[in-house]
Amino acid sequence: MCAMAGRAGWVPAGVHPTAVLHNVQMVSVLTGAIETLDIVLAGSRIAALWPVDTATSWPTIDGEGRYAVPGYIDAHLHIESSFVTPAAFSQAVLVHGTTTCAADAHEIANVLGYEGLVAFMDVAQDLPLDIRWMVPSSVPSVLGLETTGGRIDPSDVATLLQRPDVIGLGEVMDAYGIAHGDTRMLEILRVARDAGVIIEGHAPDVTDEALTSLLWEGVSSDHSKSATALLLKKLHLGMFLEFQAKTLRPELIEALQQLPLMPPFALCTDDVSADVLADEGHLDRIGRLAVKAGLTPLQALRAMTFDPAQRLGLADRGVLAPGRRADILLLDEISQFTPSLVMAGGKVVAQSGHLTALGETLHDTAGRDTREARLNTLRHTVHLLSHQVDQSRFRWPAPTASLPLTLRALSVNRDDNTLQEVAITATVVDGFVALPQGVALLTVVDRYTGRAQQSFAPVVGLSLGTGAVASTYSHDAHNLTVLGTHAEDMALAAAAVVALDGGIVVVQNHRVTAKMALPLAGVVSADLLHEVVDQARCVRAALTAWGYRHANPFMHISTMGLLVSPDIRLSDQGLIQVRTRQKVSSTMKNP
């Protein structure tokens, strides 16, 4: 008797098969068993498992002995970080085997609030990629310390949790605010607990009282990078961890393998730009990184299928078995994870790295009549005039006449997005700060109110030539963020972004070298997928040519204003100490 296959030719009563996936090596992500068999489909579900070569009159797809695994499930991501619409995102990730994702659209929400969020969620309906939503919990990420275009309040959360495509509360980011009794966040958490949904967390380096407060309030997961010892502590305390690329270190995997009992966890992508999606992959890429770090291929597969399905409450998928959703991938090699065939809901939507004709059609017809109109409501969100981004705005007025001038600076590294506070000494020329050679200037400008409030900070650790980058993709408030070494170039980049109604522009030696228009809320492109991919490649290349060296330059630049990531950040209202949630002076006392 076969281990997994049922009786040849038998299907449950009342079930009418529609196709047979013939001759596959089906992988059990629960036990690691692999068996050659036929998978019988009935519409969008698996009807039965038959011994291979069972005679049938149903349409047959030849699996050619390839490995059959469940469709990949990304437990935590932000579509906007790929700079594309939900439909384009679906096209991008399906070919890499991702058939389900849990998305948190808090980038759109920070710009346009409830109405913009709903519009973005609505255009994701009926796509071949099954997009489930987490309601943004932290819009703004920290109340009162930055200017945002929108906010999500407890009443909005309660309404959104009633949607059938919503499965939880998105990443709770202000751990220190919760520890200090932030009433708005506590009410949002109460609403989510009362609704009985899962609550996602964002807790980089969060320990002690703040971590205990998160657990007490029902936050039960984390996807952020922390030291291995802290990640293990979170696992011991029952948190479900979602490991993204920057977290997958050999020392972490070794520590997991040495535990008496391996806990469930997931692999996730979080933020992946369009060019990386096209050139390196999606969750399949994370699987390869996990194996390189020390997971076995079967362990990685489980963390991309069954474990995230269980975490998200999606009991109808994550394993290949009768009654489960027919999200099926065929792999030539288990350890490579990139599928040669992708089936979503029983339909073959991709083969050999490209959408099938059916896959293209399903994207074209899904909400086509209303999609463009809904997306157009996300435009015109950059409220800045030309004189508010001229060269004079990118010269930093000296905060004090006292000399020598000792400034708080943001120290960066090339591996992750952590910012540390350091002191530097600058001079004053004609009333403006003159930074030392090799130090860049960062400024964040309010793009919402028309007042163009801005603040400044020096940045050390980059070796940049003459130039600048300006962006409205800037977590989490998405204000205009400009980093540069020359005021003229900073003004040129900023003005170009304003002219685009949002986007990313790179300038080198007084000339625009690359740009990407992001007119939908200032964070998403309206262009076709391949166009966005090409633009992202050009921007990345221009940053490299300028001297920007980082593992993930898009996220590195865009998170310099993320007020919930360690240790110090810059908003349009000033420098913010993350742990204390306090504004601090740009100057320091001279010794």
Condensed to tens digits (0 to 9), the pLDDT of residues 435-457 reads 999 999 999 999 999 999 999 99
pLDDT of residue 369: 66
* Closest C-alpha to 344, from 97, 65, 584: 97
* Closest C-alpha to 185, from 196, 171, 205, 198: 171
Do 570 and 467 fall within a single domain? yes
Q: How many domains does the chain have?
A: 2
Do 299 and 394 fall within a single domain? no
Do 249 and 113 fall within a single domain? yes
Residue with tokens 């009159």: 57
Report if residue 376 sits inside a domain.
no
Report the distance separating Cα 162 and Cα 194, nearest Å: 12
Cβ atoms of residues 384 and 445 within 8 Å: yes
530: CB partners within 8 A, 6+ apart:
none
Do 275 and 152 fall within a single domain? yes
Do 290 and 172 fall within a single domain? yes
pLDDT of residue 54: 86
Out of 319, 345, 370, a domain closes at 319
Report if residue 20 sits inside a domain.
no
Report if residue 34 sits inside a domain.
no
Do 274 and 181 fall within a single domain? yes
Cis peptide before 404 (omega within 30 of 0): yes
The one-digit pLDDT tens for each residue of the chain (591 residues) are 457 878 888 899 999 999 999 999 999 999 999 999 999 999 999 999 999 988 888 999 999 999 999 999 999 999 999 999 999 999 999 999 999 999 999 999 999 999 999 999 999 999 999 999 999 999 999 989 999 999 999 999 999 999 999 999 999 999 999 999 999 999 999 999 999 999 999 999 999 999 999 999 999 999 999 999 999 999 999 999 999 999 999 999 999 999 999 999 999 999 999 999 999 999 999 999 999 999 999 999 999 999 999 999 999 999 999 999 999 999 999 999 999 999 999 999 999 999 999 999 988 876 666 788 999 999 999 999 999 999 999 999 998 877 889 999 999 998 889 999 999 999 999 999 999 999 999 999 999 999 999 999 999 999 999 999 999 999 999 999 999 999 999 999 999 999 999 999 999 999 999 999 999 999 999 999 999 999 999 999 999 999 999 989 999 999 999 999 989 999 999 999 998 989 999 998 765
Report the distance separating Cα 91 and Cα 349, nearest Å: 9
What proportions of the chain, in percent to the nearest 5, are helix, strand and coil? 30, 25, 40
Do 407 and 294 fall within a single domain? no
Report if residue 541 sits inside a domain.
yes
Condensed to tens digits (0 to 9), the pLDDT of residues 46-59 reads 999 999 988 888 99
Do 314 and 392 fall within a single domain? no
Do 202 and 111 fall within a single domain? yes
Report if residue 349 sits inside a domain.
no
Do 450 and 312 fall within a single domain? no
Q: How far is CA 141 from the centre of its chain?
A: 15
Report the distance separating Cα 234 and Cα 212, nearest Å: 10
Report the distance separating Cα 30 and Cα 337, nearest Å: 17
pLDDT of residue 1: 41
Q: Which residues sit opposite 266 in a β-bridge?
A: 242
Residue with tokens 């437990």: 75
132: CB partners within 8 A, 6+ apart:
100, 101, 102, 103, 165, 166, 167, 312, 314
pLDDT of residue 415: 86
Report if residue 37 sits inside a domain.
no
Out of 297, 319, 341, a domain closes at 319
* Closest C-alpha to 308, from 353, 351, 257, 267: 267
Out of 304, 319, 334, a domain closes at 319
The CATH number that applies at residue 86 is 3.20.20.140
Condensed to tens digits (0 to 9), the pLDDT of residues 240-265 reads 999 999 999 999 999 999 999 999 99
Report if residue 335 sits inside a domain.
no
Report if residue 41 sits inside a domain.
no
Give Cα separations from 198 to 103, 139, 222, 242, 248 (angstroms). Answer: 13, 18, 12, 14, 24
Cβ atoms of residues 188 and 169 within 8 Å: yes
Question: Containing domain of residue 554, as a range?
Answer: 386-584
pLDDT of residue 590: 60
Do 180 and 298 fall within a single domain? yes
Do 462 and 540 fall within a single domain? yes
